[in-house]
Structure 1
Amino acid sequence: MLNTPATMLTEIELFSKAIRQQPKQKSTRRYHEFICENIVGVIENTFPLFSGTQSADDLNQLANEFIYYHSATEPEFHQIATEFVQFIQNKVELMPRLLKLIEYEWVTFNAEIAMIRTNETHSSWEEISAQPNAFTLSCNAVMQLIEVPFLVEEDAVNFLSKDEDSVVYGVYRTKENIVVSQKLRDIDVAIIQLISQTPKITLAKAEQHIHTHLAEFNFMYWVHSFTQNQLITIQFLGDKHD
């Protein structure tokens, strides 16, 4: 393999530096504008709720600052989105609630592109409820919990009135490749954390644990509901886990 000539490397470095600095030279400026437009496109498509809070000038300014200050090493579409989040977290002074909005949208985007297959339950609920010791519980393979200071309703975001107010969403992808963002109660979060922190816990053991703390809670109804919406998966003990 031939080595790249030193003169070419120098020229590329100078050209890249010129593009980052919003050049005045017409030919170089076109490259800068093209890259900036692409970055804005990534922001608008990956973070639509956040973009809705910003003017076109604000988005262009963020894109210009990202190009100038942040050295992205893997400029694929999804990698730019990830590095933009890192740039915002480390370089930009942004209202905490807007930062949380960007992080939330990154979580939903990550759930969409994650190269993980979600498990399917083939047994009937009658079989599962009749043999709770024979089935294990696990969370959806791409599920992430995120605490945020706002409510998401369809394509709108409503920020909560008090700084200390927050809600938790479980973000995951179904076997139909639909990304779901489900608002959770405290009890939902507690059970999901129990399942996440106890690999291969059986349905019977989980029910026993919950009844120790909440005797009146209908755990089996909860499991049935959360397997129906695919946030929780059930697997027969004899099946192989991926």
Structure 2
Amino acid sequence: MNAISDIETFSQRLRGGPEALGERSVELYRQFLRGNIEEVLSHVFPLFCARLSAEQLRGSIDDFLAGHASSSPEFHHIATEFLCFSQAGLPADLRQCLEYEWLLFSVEIDEALVTPPSTSEVTERSVFSLNPTLACIDIQLDFAGLAGPYAIFRDARHQVIRKPLSSLDRWLLEALRTPCTYPDLSAEVPLDALWTWLKEALAIGLIQRRDMPAPASDAGRPI
């Protein structure tokens, strides 16, 4: 038997369940592999894991091992591949729980640069844009006290923030899919409401701001 077929046989026995294990060494390796996957799941999907009994969780891991050829052993890839593999066979509440927790994790590891809030005055030349890690989700997880639309994003201190969204939030976030200046936004929203929203959104990192260079004759009027 050549080296490639040896590896394929070993992999099949690892994934095939107890009846396919054979030698004690293979069984121990499978237990080690299952333990690593369980550690990943408990870290990335704590709410999901808490909704399952120990037996159900072991069964989910065994199904994953037997039915999904993971393309990478890296921590975040295991979590993503478990999500993709498991979604179709889950009841709606567990599927949504898994998707919600994966989104939190995805935002946390997103490599996009989030800049700290500017302390200078907002002017008519200020350009506002969305936090580059921002993701929005509609969820109904009564057991976790979560219902409705939420923004999930990472701030400049690397904290993941979950913010319930009002109708104004949703409207302005949709408008900011394309970066906008203050005059662009103020044409659609009452000034007092807009200023309050911008101040709060900038403070928590929901949106970001940069300032366009002003012509020599006009430094930009403070708002």
TM-score (norm 2): 0.88
How far apart are residue 178 of structure 1 and its match? 0.7
- Preserved CA contact (<8 Å) 2:117 2:203: no
Match of 1:172 among 148, 153, 167: 153
The corresponding residue for 2:165 is: 184
Give SS of 1:209's match: coil
Q: Does 1:9 align with 2:4?
A: yes
Question: How far apart, CA to CA, are the structure 2 residues paired with 1:157 and 1:112?
Answer: 20
Per-residue CA deviations over 1:177-219 (Å, capped at 9, x if unaligned) read 11111111122112111101x2x211110121234xxxx8711
Match of 2:205 among 230, 234, 240: 230
Question: How far apart, CA to CA, are the structure 2 residues paired with 1:24 and 1:205?
Answer: 65
The corresponding residue for 2:62 is: 64
The corresponding residue for 1:205 is: 184
Match of 2:73 among 75, 98, 102: 75
Question: How far apart, CA to CA, are the structure 1 residues paired with 2:193 and 2:102?
Answer: 34
The alignment yields a C-alpha RMSD, in angstroms, of 1.9
Q: Give, as a single letter, the amino acid of the residue that structure 2 aligns with 1:10.
A: S
Q: Does 1:144 align with 2:142?
A: no
TM-score (norm 1): 0.82
- Preserved CA contact (<8 Å) 2:130 2:176: yes
CA 1:61–1:238: 2 relative to 1, 3 Å? farther
Per-residue CA deviations over 1:70-103 (Å, capped at 9, x if unaligned) read 111111001100111101124xx21112111111
Any gaps of 5 or more consecutive residues in structure 2?
215-223
Match of 1:105 among 67, 90, 101: 101
- Preserved CA contact (<8 Å) 1:150 1:167: no
- Preserved CA contact (<8 Å) 2:13 2:21: no
Give SS of 2:144's match: strand
Question: How far apart, CA to CA, are the structure 1 residues paired with 2:32 and 2:10?
Answer: 14
Question: How far apart, CA to CA, are the structure 1 residues paired with 2:164 and 2:47?
Answer: 17
Q: What's the % identity of the aligned pairs?
A: 26
What are the equivalent positions in structure 2 for 1:77-96 lying under 5 Å apart?
77-90=75-88, 93-96=89-92
The corresponding residue for 1:162 is: none
Provide the aligned length of Structure 1 versus Structure 2. 211
Question: How far apart, CA to CA, are the structure 1 residues paired with 2:67 and 2:192?
Answer: 52
Match of 2:196 among 202, 221, 225: 221
